[in-house]
Structure 1
Amino acid sequence: MKKTLLLSASILFASCQTGAASTVPRFADMDTKKLYEQIDTWLNRDIVTLSVESQNAKYGKLSEEKIINLDEKWRAERESDDKPMIAATLSSPLSIYLTRMQGQSYGLFVEVFVMDDKGLNVGQSSITSDFWQGDEGKYQKTYQVGPTAIFVDEPEWDADLKIWRVQINKSLINPQNKQLIGAATIEVNLTELARRQAQ
């Protein structure tokens, strides 16, 4: 009897989990005006602009080989106890600011990171899997398209957090002179966004 009850409970739990994962909130049908306004308010700040422009000047015109070397160094540090490059990035003023941005969203933003004009990370709210985003859509479909480009990726189910996540990727400009300087990725808790809009 106990085994039967346990089996039934397991099946019920699994079916609930499958049901949750199969119901994708439709981002395209949501009212996203306030969301984009909130994102722009956070990103159109001096700390973002100055940090990105400073890194653009620091690295200049890096060769692809040097970019890949930086990315490989980052990936290696993720597996190491010694993480000087990662530690320096996460402790930068911009990363601290983005971490606060994520925290003050009260569960709406899952991850935030900012890239320079080459697709290299400038600041981030958590450790990313790689340092260079230049070979991905988050950079290629924003910075390489133009100053007003926005690319919303396909939603993904987070089995650990039991939420749907969606990445909003957008070009970054200097608010003063409107020059294209980099790009940003804001990973949104789509499940939470849908809940707030249903209230």
Structure 2
Amino acid sequence: MKFCAPYILLLGCLAATSALATQPLQIYAPEAAPYQYEMAGEVHGTTVEALRCALNETSWRPEVHIVPQRRGIHSLRTGVIDGYMAITPSDDIDQFATLSAPLALEKWYLYSREPVSLSKARLGAIAGSNESIWLHKKGLTPRMQVSSLGQLVALIERDRIDAMVVDQRVMERYLKDARDNRSAPRVQLQRQFIRFAPLGLYVGKNFLAAHPRFLARFNDNLDDCVSSGFQLEDSERQLIQRQSTTLLDQAISELAIQDTLSNPPPPSTLADILMIDALWQASTADAPSEEAQHILERPLSKALRQWQEQQHGRVTETMVMDAQGSLVASSQMTSDYWQGDEDKFRMVAADPGDGFYIGPVRYDASAQHFQVIASRALHDPRSGELIGAVALGIDIEKALSGQVLADVTSP
């Protein structure tokens, strides 16, 4: 019996250690299939999968519950829960919580019978939804607010409203369920792109004060969990490619970029390039390295900035690279000097023609916009040798804005 007490003590220590190994994270979310929805007592959806993925290698285990948005925000404000998802940026919530990197990317469209202006249409919205909050913020108060998407569609059918702002995937899910139930809308609806909306996790500031490293690690892990949801549709990619091709042609022609690349300085060794790159990455826009300052002050860089300003926000950055992938000119400070290992250079440099590349959708949290990188290789017209590449950052919201797409419903 003399060994019993130490044995019990050991079991107690192991139990305490096990309890500390996992920690519950109380999360509320609104019903919005396919992002988050309840089925058979469990909460599923793409945002829930991204949340669990980002927390998989941590001690935190999320407990997600579906509640109305207003209740969720109130619970977060009063500290009843640790976090609330999936929601778009809100100035009001910023006062008592901090938003994570995006868990998902919504694409909002204006759905209507005929093409209408967002600012002039009689709008409907789901009360308390992300779309409703955004419309109020824009000064576009919805004429009618209801509790479900089905009610909004019925209001359009009865000509009580002209249009509604709804996420594309939410609409597709509604239409599928409606057709399965033989209750599809009796009107044809067209969709007009409005904006991209990042859905993040708002984490309470009291929680972050107790766990200051939580959000940084969570955001880092999200990079590998949500990339598949940030892809362009074929129709969107074709539109971006047409606009990017026109912009690249214009920049190359007007700024004589091909002439600049046709007379390069002697090539550098890879070791020299990597040394410059290391110094470059250690510098900042406020304190650029000597090489960065030299490149940013080049006549071509100044011309790129001036040209970019004339594009009314469609172009977010412009850069020119030589045949080795080193930066020759840029409209602004970049994170790297050597672009040779990045897809925007690597993918086009491998193409024997004037290769064209469009990258994935990326969210710039500081500027709060979504962009894609479009690039093209340039070759010497006589020898056919690669002489460099040009890359543009394209604001995809501005590029897609106002585009009216095909009917999405059938009577």
TM-score (structure 1 length as normaliser): 0.80
Amino acid at match of 1:59: P
1:90 maps to 2:90: no
Paired with 1:80 and 1:35, the residues of 2 have a C-alpha distance of: 30
The Cα of 1:167 is off from its aligned counterpart by: 0.7
| Shift in alpha-carbon separation, 1:27–1:37, aligned structure 2, 3 A | farther
- Is the deviation greater in 19-28 or in 104-113? 19-28
Residue of structure 2 in register with 1:149 after alignment: 355
**186-195 or 136-145: which moved more?**
136-145
The whole-number CA distance in structure 2 between the counterparts of 1:64 and 1:93 is 26
Specify the alignment match of 1:40 in structure 2.
249
Q: Secondary structure at the match of 1:113?
A: strand
TM-score, normalization by structure 2: 0.41
Amino acid corresponding to residue 307 of structure 2 in structure 1: M
Q: By how many angstroms is 1:184 displaced?
A: 1.4
1:15 alignment partner AA: I
The separation in 2 between residues aligned to 1:167 and 1:72, in whole angstroms, is 23
Equivalent residues of 1:147, 1:180 under 8 A apart: no
Mapped partners of 2:307, 2:88: distance in 1: 33
Structure 2: state its 5+ residue gaps.
Answer: 1-70, 78-82, 90-101, 107-196, 200-228, 406-411
Q: Are residue 118 (structure 1) and residue 327 (structure 2) matched?
A: no
Task: Give the match's secondary structure for 2:392.
Answer: strand
Choose 12-21 or 84-93, whichever is displaced more: 12-21
SS of the residue 1:146 aligns to: coil
1:20-59 alignment to 2 at 5 Å? 20-21=197-198, 26=232, 28-30=234-236, 31=239, 32-45=241-254, 47-55=256-264, 58-59=265-266
Q: In the comparison of the two structures, how many residue pairs are matched?
A: 193
Structure 1 or 2, whichever has the larger Rg, is 2
Amino acid at match of 1:126: Q
Q: Deviations over 1:44-100 (max 9, x none)?
A: 346312322333xx132x322122122123223438846322111111111011112
Question: 1:1-52: per-residue Cα shift (whole Å, max 9, x none)?
Answer: xxx8973797999613465125968363133424412321211346312322
Higher strand share: 2
- Distance of 2:302 and 2:381 partners within structure 1: 21
What root-mean-square deviation, in Å, do the aligned CA atoms of Structure 1 and Structure 2 show? 3.1
8 Å contact 1:108–1:189 — kept in the other structure?
A: yes
Alignment CA distance shift 1:157-1:76 (3 Å): closer
Judge conservation of contact 1:108–1:193 (CA < 8 Å) in 2.
yes
Residue 93 of structure 2: aligned partner: none
1:130 aligned counterpart, secondary structure: coil
Q: Matches of 2:75 and 2:311 in 1, distance apart?
A: 39
Provide the rounded CA distance (Å) in 2 between the counterparts of 1:87 and 1:166.
26
Distance 1:27 1:101, change over 3 A: farther
* Code of the aligned partner of 2:235: D
Query: Contact between 1:114 and 1:121, CA under 8 Å: does it hold in 2?
Result: yes
| Structure 1 stretch displaced more, 64-73 or 77-86 | 77-86
**Structure 1, unaligned runs of 5 or more:** none
Cα deviations across residues 138-177 of structure 1 (Å, max 9, x unaligned)? Answer: 1111113223211111111222333221111211235687
Q: Confirm or deny: 8 A CA contact 1:53 1:116 kept in the other structure.
A: no
Answer 1 or 2: higher relative contact order, Cα 8 Å, separation at least 6. Answer: 1
Conserved? CA contact 1:51–1:122, under 8 Å: no
43-52 or 129-138, which deviates more: 43-52
How far, CA to CA, are the matches of 1:121 and 1:43 in structure 2?
Answer: 16
Q: 2, 10, 16: which one pairs with 2:88?
A: 16
Q: Take 1:74 and 1:97, find their aligned partners in 2: how far apart are those partners?
A: 22
Answer yes or no: is the 8 Å Cα contact 1:112–1:185 preserved in 2.
yes
Greater fraction of residues in helix: 1
Q: Deviations over 1:117-150 (max 9, x none)?
A: 0000011011011110111111111113223211
Equivalent AA in structure 2 for residue 113 of structure 1: M
Corresponding residue for 1:190? 396
CA distance in 1: counterparts of 2:262 and 2:379, whole angstroms:
10
Identity of matched residues, %: 22
- Whichever residue aligns with residue 272 of structure 2, its letter is K
